Structure 1
Amino acid sequence: MTTGPQDIPAALVERILTPGGASRRIVAVMGPPGSGKSTFAETLRDALADRGAQVAILPMDGFHHDDAILDARGLRARKGAPETFDVAGLVHLVGRLRRNDEGEIAVPVFDRRLEISRNAARLIDPGIDTLIVEGNYLLLDRPGWSALAPLFDLTIALDVPEAELRRRLIERWRGFAIPEAEIPARVDGNDMRNGLTVLGHSRAADITLQETGAAGYLIKEEDRQ
């Protein structure tokens, strides 16, 4: 789905921009693999920037363990599962970014071309007043991960049907020139397993959004204010 700032519900933009006591607001965007978190986070950033906010995005993917660590632990086939991330490092960094008392802060970025995380690959300026953190497990209710929720001012979940998630994940792997016969095992043996972990073991978000095709995103009825 191709989206623009106009596809973000106005009520969501207003809620995020409601003045608070802190110098920086932190918004979490979570959902299973294939739910469109990165695209949505970028679209939300543009919608907020159109209203004058200074916005940056922090993807959780920068905290992937290196493949050498995953190989040593027998976890390469499960790359992307909760246990393949440096959750303590993520919690620590989000806490620093929330306090915003150090000047600019370096953050890691996951290089998909090389399949590695690059440390200190980007800088978050102290003038950023809105930080969007996006990732699968931001509301995961498990040890380590559960320390993230109190750091967010607003949490957003993306609701996509499982069949659509699977379709998107298959298309994603095709883009990596993976042999067609190997794709179902990758999707069902890892990606969808991780997705079911997100769906079955995450805390409820403050707002849940559903895609509505050409109309963009719709706030689920129970989350409207």
Structure 2
Amino acid sequence: MSTSALASKHSPFTELDRDTWSRLASEISVPLTEDELTQLRGLGERIDLEEVSQVYLPISRLLNLYVNAAAGVNDMTNDFLGTSERKVPFIIGVAGSVAVGKSTTARVLQDLLRRWPSTPNVQLITTDGFLYPNAELERRGLMGRKGFPESYNRRALLRFVADVKSGAPVVTTPKYSHLYYDILPEESIAVTAPDVLIVEGLNVLAPAKLSENSSSALSLADFFDFSIYVDANTDDIERWYVERFLKLQQSAFTNPDSYFRRYADLSEDAAIELATSIWKSINEPNLRQNVLPTRGRAKLILSKSHDHKVRRVLLRKN
């Protein structure tokens, strides 16, 4: 189903073009500087301050309204129960393909939300930390399917998010290294009772799958208060992936410790051929089979054009 179909006359989504969407935060000035945005921008991303103003500021304003509304519901529930339970973290899921820009989206929103008075403590984790270690993936025969749903420790990921949502003061997550392309067994990341937690990853909107012996199951998205899907044409994403691979070949891959060091000396034609092969054999099948089908589950869809710019925004009506 195309993004246009999602926004048809009888769609659960309201579609807004970029100009209309940008007016929803027209009275708010951009709080970021160019240097700050450079630190947030992912490799190959073309987000600029204009895009922050026209696309991401309205999202931060909307999210701030949702966070405040959730706090109000928490207060009313406490009054009803006669308790004084503190509010639990507001959790946002950010999904989308490899190379579509979801990591940059998550980082920019984290920075913008931190600047709202009601949400100074905004933390971000990626689901990469819940990939099985390479040794375990090798043992299971899944190394060639890294990033597919079965390559993640889903139980540990669900437990982590449930603990955060339950209000635990400190919850730790494994740390993943893109340099080593593996879990760092001696390191972890602590999530410490945030106002907002952003969870970014390929499959964060996937529905629960019932096993034969289970009468009920939870999905990661069951713990989300809001969710965002970063969308684009698959051919455009493939091109961005190949372009990013070539930039990594000239930068991160040249590190002697890099898992991908063996690719650093490839000719440009060979690198393009390899990147295209990886995309066609791993990333595109994962996108079509597992990631793209979850798009309609998002609360907000950011639809990107061929130039990496967000051109349309779809917001779920209910």
Identify the TM-score tier after normalising by the shorter chain. 0.7 to 0.9
Task: Tell me if structure 1 keeps the 8 A contact 2:206–2:219.
Answer: no
**TM-score, normalised relative to structure 2:** 0.63
**What corresponds to 2:200 in structure 1?**
134
Task: Tell me if structure 2 keeps the 8 A contact 1:3–1:216.
Answer: no
Displacement of 1:223: 3.7
1:2 aligns with 2:47: yes
Q: For 2:125, what is the secondary structure of its paired residue?
A: strand
Spell out the pairing of 1:132-211 with structure 2 (5 A cutoff): 132-143=198-209, 147-174=219-246, 175-176=248-249, 177=253, 178=263, 179=266, 180=271, 181-196=273-288, 197-201=290-294, 204-211=297-304
Unaligned regions of 5+ residues in structure 1, if any? none
Rounded Cα–Cα distance in structure 2 between residues aligned with 1:66 and 1:156: 28
Root-mean-square deviation over aligned CA pairs: 2.4
Rounded Cα–Cα distance in structure 2 between residues aligned with 1:194 and 1:214: 21
Residue number among 12, 22, 25 corresponding to 2:59 in the alignment: 12
Higher relative contact order (CA 8 A, sep 6+): 1
Q: Which amino acid aligns with 1:183?
A: A
Rounded Cα–Cα distance in structure 1 between residues aligned with 2:302 and 2:94: 10
Displacement of 1:9: 3.9
Q: Which amino acid aligns with 1:182?
A: L
Q: Which amino acid aligns with 2:132?
A: H
Q: Among the aligned pairs, what percent are the same residue? A: 22
**What corresponds to 2:191 in structure 1?**
124
**TM-score, normalised relative to structure 1:** 0.87
Rounded Cα–Cα distance in structure 2 between residues aligned with 1:139 and 1:72: 27
Residue number among 104, 107, 115 corresponding to 1:42 in the alignment: 107
Unaligned regions of 5+ residues in structure 2, if any? 1-45, 75-86, 211-216, 254-262
**What corresponds to 1:112 in structure 2?**
178
Displacement of 1:141: 2.5
Aligned residue pairs total 222
Rounded Cα–Cα distance in structure 1 between residues aligned with 2:89 and 2:124: 13
